[in-house]
């Protein structure tokens, strides 16, 4: 879900008195393969997608993470992807399509690396360096 859509949803729910559990999702749904393919097509970078066993994918991510000094993916994230924990049948609560946002930002998307660990250490500096 796009951050502005999430903020609007939080404000809307904050005005209500009852508790609610809401799946905060955008209007598009992708498999992981579809997501990678869609973003690649939009930014003009096509790469082969090679299926590998989950443990091998995690190990490759761990090694690359060590090389760049970051965490690319965690084992709980791998397990969550495998268990379809990121999927829901709920109606979308956001209006902004990821593909539209990607088209809007395609010239700058992926140009600079945004470190997960750097953002956690010093958020302001990490974003200023982008």
CB 39 within 8 A of CB 100: no
Q: What percent of the chain has pLDDT over 90?
A: 68
Q: DSSP string covering 49-85, please?
A: -----HHHHHHHHHHHHHHHTS----HHHHHHHHTTT
Q: Which residue has the higher pLDDT, 31 or 5?
A: 5
CB 55 within 8 A of CB 73: no
CB 95 within 8 A of CB 3: no
Dump pLDDT digits (tens) for 37-63.
999 999 999 888 899 999 999 999 999
Cβ contacts of 112 within 8 Å, gap of 6 or more: 129, 130
Say whether pLDDT at 64 is over 90. yes
- 54-68 and 75-82 are packed helices; what angle lies between their axes, rounded to 10 degrees? 150
């Amino acid at each position: 879900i796009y951050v502005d859509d999430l903020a609007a949803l939080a404000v809307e729910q904050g005005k209500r008195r009852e508790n609610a559990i809401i799946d905060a999702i955008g209007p598009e749904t992708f498999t992981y393969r579809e997501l990678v393919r869609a973003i690649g097509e939009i930014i003009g970078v096509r790469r082969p997608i090679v299926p590998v066993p989950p443990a091998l994918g995690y190990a490759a991510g761990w090694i690359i993470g060590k090389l760049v000094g970051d965490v690319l993916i965690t084992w709980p994230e791998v397990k969550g992807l495998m268990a379809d924990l990121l999927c829901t049948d709920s109606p979308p609560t956001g209006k902004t399509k990821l593909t539209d946002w990607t088209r809007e930002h395609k010239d700058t998307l992926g140009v600079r690396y945004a470190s997960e660990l750097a953002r956690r250490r010093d958020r302001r500096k990490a974003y200023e360096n982008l």
